[in-house]
Structure 1
């Protein structure tokens, strides 16, 4: 009986202790903050709480360094009944800190002038890891037999060289939809912040400087693949492989999934009509969403790469104009294709892709017709 009461008392004590703790978290920029930048943290609580101030302590000495009442309450958010924005922009001294509010404590906060150094280049490690063809992380090649054409009225089942590019995710499918977007964003990031990127890798992803910023090496890897997926002005491909790929975990250089032609994988020709090899189909009704992505990536690539590769840049300019014209002749969305599962990238908009393409071509060529088109497409945009 004594043991029963002892166990019961312990359970009650444990439950009381847990319930007495406020279930709340402080979210901070884990990368860090620059000394003179605006600085904020977010407090999220599963309970209704009120706070009037917060304190910041040195993470090493636990000495009080800063106290503030600059708090903005935001009320309910999702599962959280109380949310607050904590402003500590006036804390400019370099160092490592923690925010404390009663029993609530933040992760370590880093304030340093070099807090972001190397972060832009670090992200490129993921892109190199996703490379198809030669993969520098594995120091081996994969999917070198890609691929055989499907849905083309005259070239169905014939071979096309579509090696290169990036795997889309943890599977090994490849899409123009995502790859062209990645190319454009890398080029845009470089254009806007050229001093943020270093040169430590070659174009093939091996660590050795080659005189070209690494982000441009990576963008060019993507553009070279896009050129293969758009071999002629009126010939575009949107996808390699499909969800038949989803048959367990394996390294890309050990991928032996068969689509009926040895190790070749299907390369989907853009028809502007619904596609899907088996039960499930997408809702494609045009090609402009894909053509616009080709055009914008090629146009910005032409502008950025003219400093390094004159002939290549001129080729990209011509390809951008051709892809744009093809998109204008084939309005509508070109969605990725499902197969054995009903899932695919269900983009419903194409005017935004053509608007970006037109704006990019205007910036590249200075021709007013592209500016006029960009304005026209912008007025058709239903979502901004």
Structure 2
């Protein structure tokens, strides 16, 4: 090469580099580029979605630290439109796997929020999703050492809780004062509910049961950190010890909830001092309690054999009460016609208890191998139904499948049918994700968007992870990751629905702990409810389209509240995905 040609080449290269930098730096953030705002594992399937009615051509990845383009690709138009009729374009950069921090750039359109690629990309999010339960603790100070800027005084010692007239008995008449400390605040309010604690506790203990080695090493920076018990189980114990106090020792029945008569105002917990009550025993609460205590007997036995005995006895006593009282439904409106004060807090009224019997029988059978419990399961419906607080059948079936090696008395064909139904459901969600505009199983059916739709996405993810565990088929794992992508920003609103994680996150959740301290950012690690076209709160929403029906306003308990039964499946999803990446299975 002549000196003249070499100079032309060098000058051309410098000009191209300067032009590229100028092009990249001139691009403005465009929220039409929807992406997981945290990032991806190096070898993960990596996709962003662009909403555009115009042609989208090439795109590139910009290395933020090294200020250079490191990958280029071509957008592919999706065959599916969004629920609002928008055109979607897929940007696939799965072939790029170098660790770093990046933005997507699209000439003449803009750039994305920044994101990372590295092998621990979800580690801090996983911790935060569990640390959120610490922030929900009742009856204790949260010191700065563990709570940081969200340190606060103790609220609700719950040592002066009264028996509500609906819960009165001969040995515990109306007005009897009892103690029931600890536990977690249920959601954006300060009450404590057995039914919702049930699925929450079952989900968290199941998470530990599947990935015990991962959690043996995880440090959540809570007061119990460093003892002999994994932090996730220490946090579970805080609520478990409260749940024990909700059982009447005289007969084994369990009170539905511990609550004020009406919701407290938007004040800090230590200023919320209205009288609290034990309200009405019920079959749903008692069976959920039995399931949780039986599972706890199994999970905590290596750490506290004596505690496991207590939990199992409590579970069996609750089961016996339910056998004698199989149809005591919690019907708040009916109770309020008879008993005063009226109770107007969360009802969690469930009028079909078939699934509660299955869950409780499953957990008790695993621990005891008593055929009394198998008799309930032998003829039970085995069709797949996604878990929720009012549908817990598959909480029991998941546990049976995880423990099948120790269940020799259960016919193999019965367990095989469970697996067939689970895999069929997982296949359905996986296929839905392949043809959905945002490339995730979530939203494949508009009916996914209900109150707590982000928990639907999380529980779909758990199903897919269970299918992966049973089959080893990586398509299921990828679909679970796609639902995490959905939660973290690749969705119709562009929000990362987890407080404190991502660049566009909920700033004003319906959460008394946050609303009462407006000088602070929202507590981190909480999954908000997500799009809900029913809009029961009558707040101002930007859209009625199912997947766009979300508003970041603290009045929006229908789309922007937090809840323990939503955080638990999200914690399962994100921690399980990180554990699989770390351990390779």
When the two structures are superposed, what TM-score results if normalisation uses the length of structure 1?
A: 0.76
- 1:356 corresponds in structure 2 to 359
In structure 2, the CA distance between the partners of 1:240 and 1:311, relative to structure 1 (3 Å rule), is same
In structure 2, the CA distance between the partners of 1:336 and 1:360, relative to structure 1 (3 Å rule), is same
**Unpaired stretches in structure 1, ≥5 consecutive residues:** 1-20, 260-264, 273-286
- 2:236 corresponds in structure 1 to 219
In structure 2, the CA distance between the partners of 1:343 and 1:130, relative to structure 1 (3 Å rule), is closer
- 1:253 corresponds in structure 2 to 270
Alignment of 1:1-384 (within 5 A): 25-43=32-50, 45=51, 48-51=53-56, 53-69=58-74, 71=76, 73=78, 75-79=80-84, 81-102=86-107, 103-136=109-142, 137-138=151-152, 140-150=154-164, 151=166, 152-154=168-170, 155-197=173-215, 198=217, 200=219, 205-206=222-223, 208-232=225-249, 233-242=251-260, 244-246=262-264, 248-257=265-274, 259=275, 265-270=276-281, 272=282, 287=283, 289-332=284-327, 334-335=329-330, 337=332, 339=342, 344-379=347-382
- Taking only aligned residues, the RMSD between alpha carbons, in angstroms, comes to 3.1
- 1:275 corresponds in structure 2 to none
* Superposition deviation, residue 64 in structure 1: 2.3
**Unpaired stretches in structure 2, ≥5 consecutive residues:** 1-27, 143-150, 334-341, 388-585
**Does the CA contact (< 8 Å) of 2:154 and 2:269 recur in 1?**
no
Partners of 1:201 and 1:107 in 2: how far apart?
A: 28
Partners of 2:178 and 2:361 in 1: how far apart?
A: 29
Q: Deviations over 1:213-234 (max 9, x none)?
A: 1110111111111110013343
Deviates more, 1:307-316 or 1:69-78: 69-78
- SS of the aligned residue for 2:318 comes to helix
Paired residues, number: 337
Bigger CA radius of gyration: 1
In structure 2, the CA distance between the partners of 1:28 and 1:148, relative to structure 1 (3 Å rule), is same
**Does the CA contact (< 8 Å) of 1:132 and 1:163 recur in 2?**
yes
In structure 2, the CA distance between the partners of 1:100 and 1:380, relative to structure 1 (3 Å rule), is closer
**Does the CA contact (< 8 Å) of 1:173 and 1:240 recur in 2?**
yes
- SS of the aligned residue for 1:126 comes to helix
**Does the CA contact (< 8 Å) of 1:352 and 1:378 recur in 2?**
no
Which stretches of structure 1, 4 residues or more, deviate above 6 A after TM superposition?
380-384
In structure 2, the CA distance between the partners of 1:148 and 1:323, relative to structure 1 (3 Å rule), is same
* Superposition deviation, residue 92 in structure 1: 1.2
Deviates more, 1:68-77 or 1:332-341: 332-341
- SS of the aligned residue for 1:41 comes to strand
Q: Deviations over 1:229-271 (max 9, x none)?
A: 013343211111245233x3221122232x4xxxxx111021x
- 1:16 corresponds in structure 2 to none
**Does the CA contact (< 8 Å) of 1:75 and 1:84 recur in 2?**
no
**Does the CA contact (< 8 Å) of 2:191 and 2:260 recur in 1?**
yes
Deviates more, 1:305-314 or 1:78-87: 78-87
Q: Deviations over 1:252-305 (max 9, x none)?
A: 122232x4xxxxx111021x5xxxxxxxxxxxxxx1x22221122112111110
- SS of the aligned residue for 2:197 comes to helix
Structure number with the higher helix fraction is: 2
Query: Does 1 or 2 have the higher relative contact order (CA < 8 Å, sep 6+)?
Result: 2
**Does the CA contact (< 8 Å) of 1:176 and 1:239 recur in 2?**
yes
Q: Deviations over 1:139-196 (max 9, x none)?
A: 5353333401111243222112222111112321111122222221211111112233
When the two structures are superposed, what TM-score results if normalisation uses the length of structure 2?
A: 0.52
Structure number with the higher strand fraction is: 1
Partners of 2:327 and 2:78 in 1: how far apart?
A: 44
- SS of the aligned residue for 1:296 comes to helix
**Does the CA contact (< 8 Å) of 2:61 and 2:105 recur in 1?**
yes
* Superposition deviation, residue 26 in structure 1: 2.4
- SS of the aligned residue for 1:169 comes to coil
* Superposition deviation, residue 353 in structure 1: 2.5
* Superposition deviation, residue 54 in structure 1: 3.5
Partners of 1:162 and 1:342 in 2: how far apart?
A: 18
Partners of 1:218 and 1:70 in 2: how far apart?
A: 45
